[in-house]
Homo-oligomer: A and B are copies of this chain.
Amino acid sequence: MMNSGRQTIKFQKEAVITANYGIAGPKEKEGALSDYFDYILEDDTFGEKSYEKAECKMHLHTIEKAIERANISESDIDAMLCGDLLNQIISSSFSARELDIPYLGIYTACSTFGAALALGSMLISGGFMSKVACSTSSHFSTAERQYRYPLELGTQMTPTAQWTVTGSGCSILADSGEGPKITQVTIGKVIDYGIIDANNMGAAMAPAAASTIIAHFKESGRNPDYYDMILTGDLGIFGSELVNKLVESEGISIASRHEDCGRMIYRPEQKVRMGGSGAGCSSLVFNTYIMSKFRKGELKKLLFVPTGALLSRESSLQGESIPSIAHAIAVEV
């Protein structure tokens, strides 16, 4: 139960991922993983009057359905650990308003789902809680108008840009039950290589992903070939190339088993440039496609590394570069 390194915690008592649910938007329906999503919005307003309200509804619906999947009720959940990209993470707190569950809001941008799993697995392993819900969401239209430009402008994407995933995912962690377990977590440090282009998140986040992956292998004593897959969050095509090179420079080769949620969620013909991004990207892919691979026995050992760019509109406008972070979660059967 003690640190096996400064950033890495190896659990003696391991939290079990007992249930999952993931909701996607219409653009994601046209993507490569469509068959795996539990529910798909036909219309990205989800019947609401604003995109922000739609994201809140999607986030809430995801948590409620994951609880249902776990065959438990709201009152069985000891805490919800949630986050999203909206200012003041309102998708999360407005979801919590509808639920009778103690709430802790988490924010490390698109790596938030990793932070939630890391904290959730510690709260369970420590014996403080027996069931925890971890969830995140993002929505193309809320992110675009909050971080970039009004949607009405129809602004073109730059070559290195990524498309924010409309999606939400939730995992139920428990102290017992059936499912893959969280065996180790490596908590990330904030890394900033001085990238200032908010349309090149892959480049901003790759050094943070590399830092966490390197720390994980140094501290865990494991090698990349221990895992069937090393799955980063939303580095996209360019960021994925970068992370492989950065990790390689430390003598660790992950290329043969590296995948990226942002790179796999869409199809090339969808014109999403470098791929998907957003706090909902990795949580949607993890809670649907990846967990189905675990259930089918096609995946047994995964290092899941959600990645996040910690900028805000104000920080970019004030000329700041983009600090980034990644957390690594070892999931095993």
Chain A residues proximal to chain B, CB less than 8 Å: 1-3, 6-7, 9, 49-50, 52-53, 75, 78-79, 83, 85-90, 93-94, 96-97, 99-109, 115, 118-119, 122-123, 125-130, 146, 187-192, 310-315, 318, 320, 323, 325
Contacts and interface: CB of A to CB of B under 8 A. Distances in A.
Select the residue from A97, A101, A130 with max chain B CB neighbours within 10 A: A97
A212 to B, nearest CB: 9
Nearest to A109: B88
Given A53-B318, A126-B1, A318-B53, A107 B106 contact: yes
**Which 3 pairs across A and B sit closest by C-beta, in order of nearness?**
A126-B126, A93-B310, A88-B312
Given A2-B127, A88-B312, A315-B52, A107 B83 contact: yes
Contacts of A99: 190
Kindly report how many copies of this chain are found in the complex they form together: 2
B310 A90 contact: yes
Nearest to A189: B102
A106 B103 contact: no
A190 B103 contact: yes
A84 to B, nearest CB: 10
A104 B109 CA distance: 11
A284 to B, nearest CB: 21
Contacts of A107: 83, 88-89, 105-107
Contacts of A129: 3, 9
Given A6-B102, A128-B9, A312 B87 contact: yes
A94 B187 contact: no
